[in-house]
């Protein structure tokens, strides 16, 4: 009986998150995601990065791109090749000022790779060096809530982008199944 108020609180917090994510998605520039989809299928290598929970979103997106049969890598992993001219780095950061993510974006740019920033701040250090900024607007001041909304929204938007790429590439269930992890 004592946990009933907590259940109601958790349900209310969940409803708030869903509402904030919906509002963020409504304000998102979907044309920028289409631009990203166009680039992903044309580059030799795609690298995806982020730190913390944004890093988890990046890794999840990388897994989806692998499922689509696209050449994708996570910087820092032992099987990641050298970045070079014509490659693509997708950098995800809510604030756009995360040191690790900004460093990788700067380094990729120095090496001739194109940098795409996914962030909630179009004036961030990450955004300034990117050729394409995908803004995911979040109208929250509390950084914990803002980051949570950003990460969930980014994940949903990138899954939607994967669905578009899958249809473009005509990936059927069997091809998807062949690329899905099987050492589980």
d(CA 76, CA 51): 12
- Helix and strand numbers, DSSP H then E, in the chain: 7, 5
Has 151 been annotated as catalytic?
yes
Q: For residue range 125-143, what is the model confidence (pLDDT) as tens digits?
A: 999 989 999 999 998 888 8
**What is the DSSP code string of 4-44?**
HHHHHHHHHHHHHHHHHHHHHHHHS-HHHHHHHHHHHTT-S
Report pLDDT digits (tens) over 154-178.
999 999 999 999 999 888 888 778 8
Query: Tens of pLDDT along 30-47?
Result: 999 999 999 999 999 999
Q: Locate 29 and state its tokens.
A: 């520039």
From the candidates 26, 110, 140, 151, give the one annotated as an active-site residue: 151
**Averaged pLDDT, 68-72:** 94
How far is 104 from 110, CA to CA, in rounded Å? 10
Where do the domains of the chain lie, and which CATH numbers do they carry? 4-179 (3.40.50.10490)
pLDDT for 88-131, tens place per residue? Answer: 999 999 999 999 999 999 999 999 999 999 999 999 999 998 99
């Amino acid at each position: 009986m004592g946990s009933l108020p907590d259940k109601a609180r958790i349900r209310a917090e969940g409803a708030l998150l869903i509402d904030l994510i919906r509002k963020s998605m409504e304000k998102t520039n979907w044309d920028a995601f289409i631009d990203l989809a166009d680039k992903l299928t044309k580059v030799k290598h795609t690298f995806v990065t982020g730190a913390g929970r944004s890093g988890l979103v990046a890794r999840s997106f990388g897994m989806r791109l692998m499922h689509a049969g696209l050449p994708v890598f996570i910087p820092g992993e032992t099987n990641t090749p050298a970045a070079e001219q014509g490659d693509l780095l997708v950098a995800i950061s809510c604030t756009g000022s995360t040191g690790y993510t900004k460093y990788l974006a700067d380094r990729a740019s120095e090496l001739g790779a194109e940098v795409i920033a996914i962030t909630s701040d179009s004036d961030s250090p990450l955004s300034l060096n990117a050729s394409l900024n995908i803004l995911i607007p979040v109208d929250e001041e509390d950084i914990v809530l803002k980051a949570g909304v950003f990460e969930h929204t980014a994940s949903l938007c990138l899954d939607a982008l994967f669905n578009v790429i899958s249809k473009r590439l005509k990936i059927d269930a069997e091809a998807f199944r062949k690329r899905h992890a099987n050492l589980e």
